[in-house]
């Protein structure tokens, strides 16, 4: 099958190469169709996407994306926001699992953060009232709230998880977060075997730090989801091992959570783990569960041994050597 690969900016091409090498080594029946996007592409072409990229995702439905930078102050759109809108990927899903061999304050973390991806304060409805006063609109709809909450409960059901926690601030934002919570309660009624819990966002941050093991699947509107998902990444030692999936009804775009790391770009020392884990998520969703687990296990084994790993996790290996070590485990 064909899938779109967007290497992106900075370290993107180096970590995308790792994905290509692993695809080849595992003899997966995936043919990557590569398209350029991001700030580097924009500087020469004045466009953030290579022509044909959008049509290719429409045709093949699956995409794996490296990090892309947004040229600041140039009027260019963010590639991420443009893709999200174009393909109506309403859910951002981030599994958060501890990795043995990674320095972190917690062990055995196993959470899934599901974030609404299309509305809330990120809708971009902002304006200046006067030179010293700005207004931003928090837009929440019942439709999007029900859709994301149902996605969270379905995810829990399909993945044998037992609890879904809604993150909100409905005590203060009675209409917007109130509507989100109402939708959560309505949807929860359809899943009597899954515990539905409601936690106010500030308390949620504290509870996650104190007792992360008491949570399972988390669902939140866009802004809280953005913040709490990075908090969750902190629980497992940072963004280095954080993949995510942007899920729509028809299209799925997977990516690493970290950025383009311009400070280390071009040196062949970037850690490809997050993009490889995003690739594993994609394989899983394609129904290739065994291959997804093989890839995750091989990666975990190399990281746990800690001998051939990249500098960000305490090693001296290059991206190429690290990838080769994973291939040998496979
Ligand atoms: P960043 O994640 O790129 O880098 C933060 C730090 O982490 C840097 O020191 C970097 O070297 C390190 N790092 C990140 N990924 C790494 C990897 N795979 N291996 C080793 N080290 C890694 O964050 P930033 O510096 O804030 O952003 C840089 C650019 O990336 C910005 O233009 C930003 O807009 C963009 N960005 C894109 C995405 C995306 O496309 N999904 C996400 C975040 C940031």
312 in contact with ligand 1, CB cutoff 6 A: yes
Give the model's pLDDT for residue 74.
Answer: 67
- Which of 67, 83, 239, 267 gets mutated to test ligand 1 (max ligand atoms within 8 A of its CB)? 67
In this structure, the answer to whether residues 114 and 231 fall within a common structural domain is yes
80 in contact with ligand 1, CB cutoff 6 A: yes
Asked whether this complex has an ipTM greater than 0.95, the answer is: yes
In this structure, the answer to whether residues 183 and 279 fall within a common structural domain is no
**Residue 294: is its pLDDT beyond 90?**
yes
CA of 269 to the centre of ligand 1 (A): 14
User: Residue 80 CA: which ligand 1 atom is closest?
Assistant: 40
Once rounded to an integer, what is the mean pLDDT over residues 256-284?
Answer: 96
61 in contact with ligand 1, CB cutoff 6 A: no
Q: How far apart (Å, rounded) are the C-alpha atoms in residues 145 and 11?
A: 35
DSSP string of 130-169, one letter each residue: ETTEEEE--B--HHHHHHHHHHHHHHHHHTT--EEEEEE-
**105 is a domain residue:** no
In this structure, the answer to whether residues 38 and 88 fall within a common structural domain is yes
Structural domain that includes position 30: 1-94+241-330
In this structure, the answer to whether residues 226 and 258 fall within a common structural domain is no
Give the model's pLDDT for residue 109.
Answer: 95
**194 is a domain residue:** yes
Question: By the 8 A CB rule, do 246 and 255 touch?
Answer: yes
258 in contact with ligand 1, CB cutoff 6 A: yes
In this structure, the answer to whether residues 13 and 50 fall within a common structural domain is yes
pLDDT, one tens digit per residue, over 301-315 is 999 999 999 999 999
Q: How far apart (Å, rounded) are the C-alpha atoms in residues 197 and 167?
A: 9
Residue 123's pLDDT band (cuts 50, 70, 90): confident
In this structure, the answer to whether residues 127 and 180 fall within a common structural domain is yes
CA of 137 to the centre of ligand 1 (A): 28
**139 is a domain residue:** yes
Question: By the 8 A CB rule, do 9 and 67 touch?
Answer: yes
**Residue 217: is its pLDDT beyond 70?**
yes
Q: Which residue lies with its CA nearest to atom 43 of ligand 1?
A: 259
Give the model's pLDDT for residue 100.
Answer: 84
pLDDT, one tens digit per residue, over 14-26 is 999 999 999 999 9
pLDDT, one tens digit per residue, over 83-97 is 888 899 999 999 999
In this structure, the answer to whether residues 81 and 116 fall within a common structural domain is no
Residue at a domain's end among 235, 270, 299:
235
User: Residue 257 CA: which ligand 1 atom is closest?
Assistant: 41
In this structure, the answer to whether residues 292 and 324 fall within a common structural domain is yes
Q: Which residue lies with its CA nearest to atom 26 of ligand 1?
A: 259
SS3 labels along 176-217: HHHHHHHHHHHHHCCCCCCEEEEEEHHHHHHHHHHCHHHCCE
More confident residue, 101 or 252: 252
Q: Which residue lies with its CA nearest to atom 38 of ligand 1?
A: 259
271 in contact with ligand 1, CB cutoff 6 A: yes
Give the model's pLDDT for residue 253.
Answer: 97
CA of 176 to the centre of ligand 1 (A): 32
Number of folded domains in the chain? 2
CA of 240 to the centre of ligand 1 (A): 10
Please, where are the H alpha helices in 236-309?
273-285, 289-305
Residue at a domain's end among 213, 235, 257:
235
68 in contact with ligand 1, CB cutoff 6 A: yes
**303 is a domain residue:** yes
In this structure, the answer to whether residues 328 and 294 fall within a common structural domain is yes
Q: Which residue lies with its CA nearest to atom 22 of ligand 1?
A: 261
In this structure, the answer to whether residues 124 and 229 fall within a common structural domain is yes
Assign residue 87 a region: left if phi > 0, alpha if psi is -120 to 50, beta otherwise?
alpha
**Residue 73: is its pLDDT beyond 70?**
no
pLDDT, one tens digit per residue, over 236-259 is 988 889 999 999 999 999 999 999
More confident residue, 78 or 65: 65
Once rounded to an integer, what is the mean pLDDT over residues 188-200?
Answer: 98
The DSSP call for residue 252 is E
260 in contact with ligand 1, CB cutoff 6 A: yes
- Quote the mean pLDDT of the chain: 95
CA of 143 to the centre of ligand 1 (A): 33
In this structure, the answer to whether residues 196 and 293 fall within a common structural domain is no
Give the model's pLDDT for residue 297.
Answer: 95
Give the model's pLDDT for residue 81.
Answer: 79
Q: What CATH number does residue 285 fall under?
A: 3.40.718.10
Once rounded to an integer, what is the mean pLDDT over residues 219-246?
Answer: 93
**254 is a domain residue:** yes
**101 is a domain residue:** no
Residue at a domain's end among 218, 235, 252:
235
User: Residue 264 CA: which ligand 1 atom is closest?
Assistant: 11
**211 is a domain residue:** yes
**292 is a domain residue:** yes
Query: How is residue 151 written in tokens?
Result: 């996605």
CA of 76 to the centre of ligand 1 (A): 19
User: Residue 39 CA: which ligand 1 atom is closest?
Assistant: 32
Q: How far apart (Å, rounded) are the C-alpha atoms in residues 134 and 117?
A: 23
Once rounded to an integer, what is the mean pLDDT over residues 51-68?
Answer: 96
In this structure, the answer to whether residues 252 and 329 fall within a common structural domain is yes
């Amino acid at each position: 099958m064909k899938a779109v690969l967007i290497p992106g900016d900075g370290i993107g091409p180096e970590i995308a190469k790792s994905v290509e090498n692993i695809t080849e080594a595992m003899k997966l029946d995936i043919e990557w169709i590569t398209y350029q996007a991001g700030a580097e592409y924009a500087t020469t072409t004045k466009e953030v996407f290579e022509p044909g990229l959008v049509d290719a995702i429409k045709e093949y439905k699956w995409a794996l994306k490296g990090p892309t930078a947004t040229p600041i102050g140039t009027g260019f759109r963010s590639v991420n926001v443009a893709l999200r809108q174009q393909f109506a990927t309403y859910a951002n899903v981030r599994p958060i699992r501890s990795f043995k061999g990674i320095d972190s304050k917690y062990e055995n973390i196993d959470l899934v953060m599901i974030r609404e991806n299309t509305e809330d304060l990120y809708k971009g409805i902002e304006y200046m009232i006067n030179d010293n006063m700005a207004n931003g609109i928090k837009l929440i709809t019942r439709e999007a709230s029900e859709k994301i909450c149902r996605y969270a409960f379905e995810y829990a059901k399909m993945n044998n998880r037992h609890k879904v926690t809604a993150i909100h601030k409905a005590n203060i934002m009675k209409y917007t977060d109130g509507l989100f919570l109402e939708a959560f309660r309505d949807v929860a009624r359809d899943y009597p075997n899954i515990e539905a819990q409601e936690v106010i966002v500030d308390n949620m941050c504290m509870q996650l730090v104190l007792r992360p093991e008491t949570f399972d699947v988390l669902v939140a509107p866009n802004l809280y989801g953005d913040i709490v998902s990075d908090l969750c990444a902190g629980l497992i030692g940072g963004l280095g091992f954080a993949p995510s999936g942007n899920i729509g009804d028809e299209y799925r775009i997977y990516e690493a959570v970290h950025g383009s790391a311009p400070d280390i770009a071009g040196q062949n020392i970037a850690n490809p783990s997050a993009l490889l884990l995003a690739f594993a998520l994609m394989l899983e969703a394609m129904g290739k569960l065994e291959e997804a687990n093989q890839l995750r296990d091989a990666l975990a084994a190399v990281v746990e041994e800690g001998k051939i790993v990249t500098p960000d996790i305490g090693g001296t290996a290059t991206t190429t050597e690290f990838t080769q070590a994973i291939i040998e485990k496979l």
